[in-house]
Amino acid sequence: MFETSGKIKVVFDTQTFPSGFQKREFVVTTNHDKYPQDLKFEVVKDKCEVLEQFREGQDVTVSFDVRGNEYNSKYYVSLSAWKVTANGPAPSGSKPAKLPPPNPTADALDEDFDDDSIPFN
């Protein structure tokens, strides 16, 4: 278990794959480092809806696990968030943190996979 805090930079739309698997990604800019970092996290399945309550610029704390897997001799690492907590109210006048999906062709990646074998979960 790991934890970091910062400001939400962006929340992407939920991606739904043909198998019914869903994931949603969001970026948090850390504020505790000498050089702030933009960290991309993901939530899956029923946790996708949780991100609706957060806004751009909102301070949050993210609890997450680091996950790694191999697919076709390539290695992938993801930061899998399991809890997001607001550290204060959303900035006034802020808009929901949404952008277009990061990879509109992501559905093509899930042709023959079940939830446990998707290379990006």
CB burial of residue 80 (10 Å; 0-12, 13-18, 19+): middle
Contacts of 106 (CB under 8 A, 6+ apart): 15, 17, 120
Q: What is the largest CA-CA distance in the chain?
A: 47
What is the per-residue pLDDT for 32? 79
Closest CA to 51 of 76, 93, 16, 84: 84
Return the domain boundaries, the chain.
2-101
pTM higher than 0.85: no
Q: What is the pLDDT of residues 31-58, one digit of tens each?
A: 877 899 999 999 999 899 989 999 999 9
Tell whether the torsion through CA atoms of 117, 118, 119 and 121 is positive or negative. Answer: negative
- Domain spanning 2-101 has what CATH number? 2.40.50.140
* Residues 21 and 118 sit within 8 Å (Cβ to Cβ): yes
